[in-house]
Structure 1
């Protein structure tokens, strides 16, 4: 790695991610959730009915932190806990109707932030950037035991699983 700009890669990726989370938080005044709470909800909206331990892995935080986050989200009606049907010791977390109905608002905020972040880039530059970052992620996850579960806001409709609220 002789190019001095290449030494900046990790810092740039970290800064862009941090700035996008910060901007998302600035725009999100309607819902009043932290970026960590949003990431948790995004994961549930993609694959409803997830154990708290798996949520901790996705968010890369300690299980106790997820437990506290779920407590706050449950109190506000965003998620609900249920016992797993196959192991009653496991608590499954489900997005509520409130969370699913907020999906269009979430999508609008993420689109606004994405458009701000990518402004000034031509369509082909955007595609190249996203493809290149996808390859970087794949390279790094290739060294890991399993592929990541990409958390994307409302990427596909989550199964209803009888979630209420």
Structure 2
């Protein structure tokens, strides 16, 4: 059996990956009762932020590639979470809207995200929270 490099636990890529796995897994559990994935939830929050965006606008806003977003949008539409409507100024383009179902669950779903964030950050002081967020944004 091969041994891991001794510096692996200090490797930034390793640490960020493990932090991502923990946060992603915890939030995934919270969303399971709603039948949503983390990515689907992100897309819904994007549409609650600005209804009527096109897929291209939403992808830019959420920093998601077209291929990833396309599949997520199809699954959300099939499950009744979003609606696609033709753009009145260009019928070739579709605007995206949260459905009545999504809007009825908005407060609950946003609350799940806020609770997950609070639980994750609860071990840090307010100053550490601000610093962590700033450092993570700087890595993007």
Normalising by structure 2, we get a TM-score of: 0.76
The residue correspondences of 1:15-34 to structure 2 (distance < 5 A) are 15-34=18-37
In 2, Cα distance between equivalents of 1:85 and 1:15: 45
Aligned partner of 1:73 among 66, 72, 76: 76
State the partner residue of 1:98: 101
In 2, Cα distance between equivalents of 1:87 and 1:18: 41
Gap regions ≥5 residues in structure 2: 1-6
1:43 deviates by 0.5
1:27 deviates by 2.0
1:51 deviates by 0.8
Normalising by structure 1, we get a TM-score of: 0.66
Query: Structure 1 residues 60 and 112 mapped into 2: Cα distance closer, same or farther (>3 Å)?
Result: same
C-alpha distance after superposition, 1:102-160 (max 9, x if no partner): 12221332233223212333xxx1x213322443356467xxxxxxxxxxxxxxxxxxx
Higher relative contact order (CA 8 A, sep 6+): 1
Gap regions ≥5 residues in structure 1: 142-165
Query: Structure 1 residues 10 and 132 mapped into 2: Cα distance closer, same or farther (>3 Å)?
Result: farther
The residue correspondences of 1:56-67 to structure 2 (distance < 5 A) are 56-67=59-70
Are the counterparts in 1 of residues 121 and 129 from structure 2 also a CA contact under 8 Å? no
Query: Structure 1 residues 138 and 64 mapped into 2: Cα distance closer, same or farther (>3 Å)?
Result: closer
Q: What is the DSSP-based 3-state SS (H/G/I as helix, E as strand, rest coil) of the residue aligned with 1:41? A: helix
Which stretch of the first structure deviates more once superposed, 59-68 or 93-102? 59-68
Q: What is the DSSP-based 3-state SS (H/G/I as helix, E as strand, rest coil) of the residue aligned with 1:90? A: strand
Instruction: Figure out how many residues of one structure are paired with residues of the other and give that number.
Output: 132
